Amino acid sequence: MSTQIQRTEEPEIETEDEPEAETESAGDRRRREKVDRETALRKEAEERLDESDDDVVIKVFRYDPEVEGKQEPRFDDFRVPMEKGTSVLDALMFARDHYDSSLTFRHSCRQAICGSDAFFINGRQKLGCKTQLSELETPIRIEPLPHQEVVKDLVVEMEHFYEQMHSVEPYFQTNDLPTGELEEQRQSRENREKVKMSTRCIWCAACMSSCNIAAGDEKYLGPAAINKAYRFAMDEREGEEMKDHRMRVLEQEHGVWRCQTQFSCTVVCPKEIPLTEHIQEVKREAVKRNLKFW
Amino acid sequence: MYEHDVLVVGAGGAGLRAAIAAHEEGADVAMVTKLHPVRSHTGAAEGGINAALRDGDDWELHAYDTMKGSDYLGDAPAIETLATDSPEEVVQLEHWGMPFSREEDGRMSQRPFGGLSFPRTTYAGAETGHHLLHTLYEQVVKRGITVYDEWYVSRLAVTDHDRPEDRVCHGLVAIDIKSGEIEGFRARNGVVLATGGPGQVYDHTTNAVSCTGDGPAMAYRAGAPMEDMEFIQFHPTTLPSTGVLISEGVRGEGGVLYNALGERFMFERGYANNDGELASRDVVSRAELTEVNEGRGVNDEYVHLDMRHLGAERIVDRLENILHLAADFEGVDGLEEPMPVKPGQHYAMGGTETDEHGETCISGLYAVGECACASVHGANRLGGNALPELIVFGRRAGQHAAGRDLGEAKIGTGQVGEYEVGEVDTPVTPGEIGTPEDVVADGGESARTDGAGALVEAGPVLENAVETERERVAHLMGRDEGVQQAEIREMLQKSMTRNVNVFRNEEGLKQALRDIRTARELYRDVYVDDPSRTFNTDLIQTIEMRNLIDTAEAITLGALAREEFRGAHWRQEFQERDDENWLKHTLLSWNDGTPEVWYRPVHLEGREKTYEPKIRSY
């Protein structure tokens, strides 16, 4: 149960880049006692580590554009305790809370629904909270999502991703609402089943980050945005006219036809959405709609 | 400086709904959120939305169930508003495209939930909150509502009148997390707080890491009281290792609880002879812990929740998300084996005191959703009643803030009308230890420090707030040494979990107050080690920490004050509900940092009838 304070492999990383305290605040005895206490704790932890197998080193990408000494990207090693169930996110939180409070990453729900902690873990896009340390080969490398500008450490710029999501009119549109009071618009179970997987997207951007085409073509809608459009285009409640409109958005120059079915989006999706299949289905639908019989 | 008619703080279900409503009233509305809207904790809600939609059900039954579930500590005007407005709101969500689970005829499905006399919980698989959140965000995108995402609101700009009831909220101060800039936001009409729950005061919680009680704590320090904070809901089915929630939908669909002896204890041990697993959450939580405490728990820690008998098809159709959660976060295949579960902190029934329009006693300041206490849930919230609260009160607050006349509120706010002053015997003077500099203090009194008399005009109030906040941040960042927030947080969370949990006693509550005082002492020396202005989560967490301390203190103080057993609040020394003395709300006012305890009677008078307190049995 206990989470002992463990030392980093290189303890000095915590302080080496910090500005030196110019004057020591004299007489702050309590502070000094705290330092002594910590030193003792670390020593104790160090001794314990020698005997224990239950710890692992994570190598974490570091970068801060603003702080001198941190502007050059590098990896820091942190030694963290590993128990059954310890996730990559747990490990990062441990490292932040016990070794280096400047270690920066997004996270919130810890249960794979907020979509904020997608990282590049051992060379693949994964959610930190959903990835167990025990599943990973050592050394464990944790990096920011590729193909996105790094803001700081593991935090990437999400604006472009959000823009692509917004560009497909990501909201329900219908002219066919029932008129009766409290009358819902009916949807068949089959149709709900058809769109179900597409509605599970948590906007984590793992798919976009894994996509070679998106990396090379900034205007490409990308798998997440296409999936979002699919979610509405295939929803029978929007009606045929709106579907035509949706298909035109999807068929635009930088739309579905750019996809080269490399399946990387499908492979990395933490919600198991069959993204490639959805994109292919949109292509088939587009072909069907554009076929003309003279 | 930014300026809008209505500012919504937080972009979960309640905030999004408020923003849409204010926009529909014609207001220029903007949302300010420390996350991005789709990252909000509403997304983690699983079970469903209660709404009386079908033949055989009606709003009065919904109101009655809610009042009973609340152990008669809900206010009838708020509960009846919830029950009458939720059908329309749920159908509105459907019209906005929310992918609800469907019946054969294409209408929305409903299922049974604990404490409900009719299966009125509308749902979308076991991921209802995710769909609600995304559907509402889509409507915000459609309307082009401005969203300041990853901006952390750290202070309200409120006038400097002596009485909170005379104060006006003119805006807020927020930190752009990405750049570190601190800016003022002027609200011409009003500010709606929708910042969610304070679950992070506990270390075993279903709540997101972002749920730090920011709204209630800020409003409290600005003069709006916190109400009924002692009522913390513990959800009976959370995964032991992480606190991840296993929806009540599992029991709603027929899931069964067993102890280590294989007994179906809810019946066999007589905890709820009629409703069994579908008794109210407080009842089931206590039953589980009693089993564990009496040695019948599995591994002395938890009980088993079994859904295997429902059959793979039904589980996958209605509870698929549960299979994923159990597998990913506990390594258990719910189709093959029972899931380990134990109670975990889940929901705060209390929050910022509001009326049924969502307005606080400070003009122009609103609070909705879990951060508010409109007094819908009283002493215990029924499953499926949180999501309708978000949309019903989110809409009303948005409308009211945008200037719509919703009639006079029946629920009073602030120290006006019928109220009594209280006293609590505590081992320490709560809240007495402030932070060393005034700049780190908050609320009305800081505005008074300019020496030019009370600030009541919007411009100076906002400028003063921005200036104070910049100094506060400079102070936190300027120190080179001290204590880090993570150390204080861990200590506070552990003490709260140990002492202010499902079972409570005087000794434990007093110990928690001592620990909270220690947390305050440590916080005097808190510092931010990360010198960067870029995405400084160390800074944000340090400011959140202050909110956690104030919220934890309110929870504990309220629990110590309430000498009875009601709803989720169980006291070892007081094993009876005491309607004669305690049919009243606990309120805490900031009072320059030393909480003032006072009480207001419960509104049991509905539109057509008065709710008579009855013994709760399930």
Amino acid of residue A176: D
User: A104 vs B178: CB contact, 8 Å cut-off?
Assistant: no
Cβ contacts of A105 within 8 Å, gap of 6 or more: A92, A96, A117, A119, A128, A153, A154, A155, B537
Terminal C-alpha separation, chain B: 55
What is the band of A36 on the pLDDT scale with cuts at 50, 70, 90? low
The pLDDT tens digits of the residues spanning B106-143 come to: 999 999 999 999 999 999 999 999 999 999 999 999 99
Sheet holding A55-62, edge to edge: A74-81, A55-62, A140-143, A118-121, A124-127
Asked if residue B280 lies in contact with residue B69, where contact means CB atoms within 8 angstroms, the answer is yes
User: B106 vs A187: CB contact, 8 Å cut-off?
Assistant: yes
Specify the pLDDT at position B409: 96
Specify the pLDDT at position A40: 64
Question: Is the predicted pLDDT of residue B574 greater than 80, yes or no?
Answer: yes
Residue B85 CA to chain centroid, in angstroms? 20
Question: Is the predicted pLDDT of residue A63 greater than 60, yes or no?
Answer: yes
Question: Is the predicted pLDDT of residue A12 greater than 80, yes or no?
Answer: no
Which candidate, B592, B589, B571, B584, places its Cα nearest to that of B613? B584
CB neighbour class for B98 (10 Å; exposed up to 12, middle 13-18, buried from 19) = buried
Q: Tokens standing for B322?
A: 């549960």
pLDDT > 70 in chain B, percent: 97
User: B138 vs A18: CB contact, 8 Å cut-off?
Assistant: no
The pLDDT tens digits of the residues spanning B231-248 come to: 999 999 999 999 999 999
Which candidate, A86, A125, A130, A84, places its Cα nearest to that of A107? A130
Average pLDDT over residues A68-83: 94
A72 strand-pairing partners: none
Amino acid of residue B240: P
CB neighbour class for A272 (10 Å; exposed up to 12, middle 13-18, buried from 19) = exposed
Q: Indicate the SS3 state at residue A237.
A: helix
Instruction: Determine the residue among B38, B214, B490 to mutate to test chain A binding: the one whose Cβ has the most chain A Cβ atoms within 10 Å.
Output: B38
B503 strand-pairing partners: B570
The pLDDT tens digits of the residues spanning A94-124 come to: 999 999 999 999 999 999 999 999 999 999 9
Stated length of chain B: 618
Per the annotation, the verdict on B489 as an active-site residue is no
What is the band of A180 on the pLDDT scale with cuts at 50, 70, 90? confident
The pLDDT tens digits of the residues spanning B76-90 come to: 999 999 999 999 999
Report DSSP state, residue B205: B
Cβ within 8 Å of A, B 192-211: 208-210
Number of H helices, E strands in chain B: 16, 22
Distance from CA of B140 to the nearest CA of A (A): 9
Which residues on chain A are in Cβ contact (under 8 Å) with B536? 102, 104
What is the band of A38 on the pLDDT scale with cuts at 50, 70, 90? low
Average pLDDT over residues B205-223: 97
> Does B314 contact A at CB distance below 8 Å?
no
User: B95 vs A185: CB contact, 8 Å cut-off?
Assistant: yes
Question: Is the predicted pLDDT of residue B443 greater than 60, yes or no?
Answer: no
Question: Is the predicted pLDDT of residue B445 greater than 70, yes or no?
Answer: no
What is the band of B569 on the pLDDT scale with cuts at 50, 70, 90? very high
Radius of gyration of chain B, Cα coordinates, nearest whole angstrom: 23
Closest in A105, A152, A184 to B532, CB measured: A152
Question: Is the predicted pLDDT of residue A39 greater than 70, yes or no?
Answer: no
What is the band of A147 on the pLDDT scale with cuts at 50, 70, 90? very high
Specify the pLDDT at position A43: 65
What is the predicted ipTM? Answer: 0.95
Specify the pLDDT at position A290: 84
Report DSSP state, residue A15: T
Question: Is the predicted pLDDT of residue A214 greater than 50, yes or no?
Answer: yes
Distance from CA of B529 to the nearest CA of A (A): 7
Amino acid of residue B278: L
Average pLDDT of every residue of chain B: 95
What DSSP string describes B416-436? -SS-EE-----SS-TT----S
Spatial separation of the C-alpha atoms in residues B584 and B378, rounded to whole Å: 10
Which candidate, A265, A251, A159, places its Cα nearest to that of A206? A265
Specify the pLDDT at position A2: 36
Cβ contacts of A284 within 8 Å, gap of 6 or more: none
User: B131 vs A199: CB contact, 8 Å cut-off?
Assistant: yes
Question: Is the predicted pLDDT of residue B75 greater than 70, yes or no?
Answer: yes
Question: Is the predicted pLDDT of residue B188 greater than 70, yes or no?
Answer: yes
Specify the pLDDT at position A4: 39
For tokens 């009485």, the residue is B163
CA distances from B320 to A16, B55, B240 (A): 48, 29, 20
Q: Tokens standing for B69?
A: 């579930």
Question: Is the predicted pLDDT of residue A24 greater than 60, yes or no?
Answer: no
Cβ within 8 Å of B, A 21-60: 21-22, 25, 28, 30-31, 34
CA distances from B446 to B27, B157, B225, B363, B442 (A): 31, 11, 18, 19, 6
Please name the helix (run of DSSP H) or strand (run of DSSP E) that holds residue B2, with its range, or none: strand B2-9
Sheet holding B596-601, edge to edge: B372-373, B351-353, B226-227, B584-589, B596-601, B420-421
Specify the pLDDT at position A8: 42
Spatial separation of the C-alpha atoms in residues B291 and B263, rounded to whole Å: 10
Specify the pLDDT at position B441: 44
Angular region, B379: left φ>0, alpha ψ -120 to 50, beta rest: alpha
Residue A43 CA to chain centroid, in angstroms? 36
Q: Is the dihedral of CA B22, B26, B32, B36 positive or negative?
A: positive
Distance from CA of A97 to the nearest CA of B (A): 5
Distance from CA of A22 to the nearest CA of B (A): 9
Asked if residue B244 lies in contact with residue B344, where contact means CB atoms within 8 angstroms, the answer is no
Report DSSP state, residue B532: -
Specify the pLDDT at position A84: 85
Phi, psi of B342 (to 5 degrees): -150, 165
pLDDT > 90 in chain A, percent: 76
pLDDT > 70 in chain A, percent: 82
Spatial separation of the C-alpha atoms in residues B76 and A35, rounded to whole Å: 55
The pLDDT tens digits of the residues spanning B406-427 come to: 999 999 999 999 999 999 999 9
Asked if residue B592 lies in contact with residue B445, where contact means CB atoms within 8 angstroms, the answer is yes
Which of the following is catalytic: B281, B472, B520, B600? B281
Question: Is the predicted pLDDT of residue A50 greater than 80, yes or no?
Answer: no
Average pLDDT of every residue of chain A: 88
Number of H helices, E strands in chain A: 10, 7
Spatial separation of the C-alpha atoms in residues B273 and B287, rounded to whole Å: 12
Specify the pLDDT at position A25: 56
Amino acid of residue B431: G
Q: Tokens standing for B314?
A: 């039904």
Cβ contacts of B571 within 8 Å, gap of 6 or more: B504, B505, B506, B559, B562, B563, B564, B565
Amino acid of residue B28: D
User: A171 vs B97: CB contact, 8 Å cut-off?
Assistant: yes
The pLDDT tens digits of the residues spanning B485-522 come to: 999 999 999 999 999 999 999 999 999 999 999 999 99
What is the band of B310 on the pLDDT scale with cuts at 50, 70, 90? very high
Cβ within 8 Å of B, A 113-152: 113-116, 130, 151-152
User: B94 vs A182: CB contact, 8 Å cut-off?
Assistant: no
